[in-house]
């Protein structure tokens, strides 16, 4: 490859990573805010009991994942057929509309509208499969783990800044006109900026367009494909269990912070900022340092069991120092696990099916993000710590499955 080609590829990667960063910054700004709509003295919506409140919280965050499960494979398949750039544009327009609607629902106190407002960006939130496909288009197989690690780093950087900004923008003790709706207005603005940058600078990386027929039931078909493709069956089952367990942690740990540790929305935001710092460090530096030096499977055989232990340990972290320490270690373990799993999946797919296979991978992740909120609200009604504990046990299953797969 010539120096000019290297330079062009570097620019393409930079634009892709910028899109990821702005996308994830917009998504993670709201992390500390949605639980605050249900918890604490200043919660804008009232419920007849803790159990009802817990179930509605699970259903609201689950509505996003339901639509992402449907939307991700459709967007991935459309991007194989029509190109990465136009599909990413459409997805950002939908997300922009959804965030505006959610902010209005909070301001107007319209509870049912929250669900519609979350479902719209949920469907359009499958654009990560499109972004991964763009990166796979311009990456050699041996470079994919490293480049996917950069996506994870951009993800981590957005994750680092987002929750802290969200907690800040939702705190009316800082600025009197700030409210729980303010982070959503700001997120809509970020999405609009992302949309403009994509239209101006995002490259079209697809070279060979697919003629495969696209179905609205692609997500369900993708899950069926997992069990029909021997090369993908094992690794995607492990992806599913890890995502299930990790989603129990990410979606319900903030409830522990509000109820047991007495955190404010700003303090929850700062804790997730801390998690993001370590995830960014891991995926910016550790993944790239270890890429090519340690076999991906060997690395995963270490990081997945460690992640299991740490998530379970989090249940017993009953003070601020322990919470910050264990969460930093979780960020490192997951930061090493996620890009290497994605790279294993990508390397099993031919070049002309990257969008399809990574769409399948996204569907599996969407199922992993879908199930915990839908059942986690009921588990949460039984006890504050139970959803996170279940998450650790599910990751333990993934660890056992990976060990069995390695022994074959």
Each domain of the chain, given as residue ranges in start order, spans 3-205+215-407
The pLDDT of residue 217: 65
The pLDDT of residue 219: 62
> Across residues 272-282, what is the average pLDDT?
86
What topology does CATH give the domain 3-205+215-407?
Answer: Growth Hormone; Chain: A; (1.20.1250)
Q: What does the angle CA 217 – CA 223 – CA 224 come to, to the nearest 5 degrees? A: 90
List all residues 6 or more positions away from 31 whose beta carbon is below 8 Å from its beta carbon. 162, 163, 166, 254, 268, 269, 272
SS3 17: helix
pLDDT at 1 > cutoff 60? no
Backbone phi, psi, residue 157, to 5°:
-65, -40
Q: Which residue has the higher pLDDT, 195 or 221?
A: 195
Q: What percent of the chain has pLDDT over 70?
A: 86
pLDDT at 2 > cutoff 60? no
pLDDT at 6 > cutoff 60? no
Please list, residue by residue across 99-124, b when 16 or more beta carbons sit within 10 angstroms of its beta carbon and e when fewer do. Answer: bbbbbebbeeeebeebbebbbbbbbb
Q: Which residue has the higher pLDDT, 73 or 275?
A: 275
The pLDDT of residue 216: 59
pLDDT at 68 > cutoff 50? yes
pLDDT at 169 > cutoff 70? yes
Angstrom distance (rounded) from CA 357 to CA 339? 15
The pLDDT of residue 3: 41
Angstrom distance (rounded) from CA 386 to CA 281? 30
Please tell me what DSSP assigns to residue 61.
H
> Across residues 319-336, what is the average pLDDT?
94
pTM over 0.85: no
Angstrom distance (rounded) from CA 295 to CA 56? 43
Q: Is 72 in contact with 363 (CB distance < 8 Å)?
A: yes
Angstrom distance (rounded) from CA 36 to CA 146? 37
- pLDDT confidence band for 213 (50 / 70 / 90): low
Highest average pLDDT, of 4-8, 106-110, 191-195, 359-363, comes from 106-110
Angstrom distance (rounded) from CA 218 to CA 211? 15
- pLDDT confidence band for 214 (50 / 70 / 90): low
Q: Is 63 in contact with 118 (CB distance < 8 Å)?
A: yes
SS3 179: coil
DSSP of 255-274, one letter per residue? HHHHHTS---HHHHHHHHHH
The rounded mean pLDDT for the chain is: 82
Please give the structure tokens belonging to residue 399.
């660890």
- Widest CA span in the chain: 66
Q: Is 216 in contact with 74 (CB distance < 8 Å)?
A: yes
The pLDDT of residue 50: 80
- pLDDT confidence band for 8 (50 / 70 / 90): low
For residue range 27-40, what is the model confidence (pLDDT) as tens digits?
777 778 888 888 76
DSSP of 109-162, one letter per residue? T-HHHHHHHHHHHHHHTTHHHHHHHHHHHTS-GGGHHHHHHHHHHHHHHHHHHH
């Amino acid at each position: 490859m010539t120096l000019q080609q290297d330079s062009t590829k570097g620019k393409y990667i930079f634009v892709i990573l910028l899109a990821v960063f702005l996308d994830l910054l917009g998504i993670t700004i709201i992390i500390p805010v949605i639980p605050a709509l249900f918890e604490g003295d200043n919660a804008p919506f009232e419920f007849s009991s803790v159990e009802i409140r817990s179930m509605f919280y699970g259903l609201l965050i689950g509505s996003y994942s339901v639509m992402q499960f449907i939307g991700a494979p459709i967007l991935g398949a459309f991007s194989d057929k029509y190109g990465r750039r136009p599909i990413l544009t459409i997805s950002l327009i939908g997300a922009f509309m959804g965030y505006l609607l959610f902010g209005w629902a909070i301001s107007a106190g319209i509870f049912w509208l929250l669900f519609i407002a979350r479902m719209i960006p949920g469907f359009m939130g499958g654009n990560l499969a499109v972004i991964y496909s763009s990166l796979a288009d311009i990456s050699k197989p041996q470079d994919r783990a490293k480049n996917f690690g950069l996506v994870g780093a951009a993800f981590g950087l957005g994750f680092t800044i987002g929750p802290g900004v969200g907690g800040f923008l939702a705190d009316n003790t800082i600025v009197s006109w700030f409210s729980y709706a303010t982070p959503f207005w700001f997120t809509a603005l970020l999405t609009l900026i992302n949309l403009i940058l994509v239209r101006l600078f995002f490259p079209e990386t697809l070279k060979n367009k697919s003629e495969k027929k696209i179905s609205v039931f692609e997500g369900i078909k993708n899950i069926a494909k997992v069990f029909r493709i021997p090369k993908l069956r094992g690794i995607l089952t492990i992806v599913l269990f890890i995502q299930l367990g990790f989603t129990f942690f990410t979606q319900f740990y903030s409830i522990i912070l509000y109820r047991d540790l007495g955190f404010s929305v700003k303090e929850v935001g700062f804790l997730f900022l801390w998690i993001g710092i370590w995830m960014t460090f891991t995926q910016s530096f550790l993944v790239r340092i270890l890429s090519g030096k340690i076999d991906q499977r060997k690395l995963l055989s270490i990081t997945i069991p460690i992640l299991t232990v740490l998530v379970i340990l989090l249940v017993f972290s009953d003070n601020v120092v322990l919470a910050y320490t264990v969460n930093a270690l979780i960020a490192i373990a997951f930061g090493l696990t996620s890009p290497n799993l994605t790279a294993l999946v990508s390397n099993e797919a031919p070049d002309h099916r990257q969008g399809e296979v990574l769409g399948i991978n996204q569907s599996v992740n969407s199922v992993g993000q879908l199930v915990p909120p839908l059942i986690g609200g009921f588990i949460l009604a039984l006890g504050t710590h139970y959803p996170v504990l279940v998450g650790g046990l599910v990751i333990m299953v993934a660890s056992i499955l990976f060990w069995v797969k390695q022994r074959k």
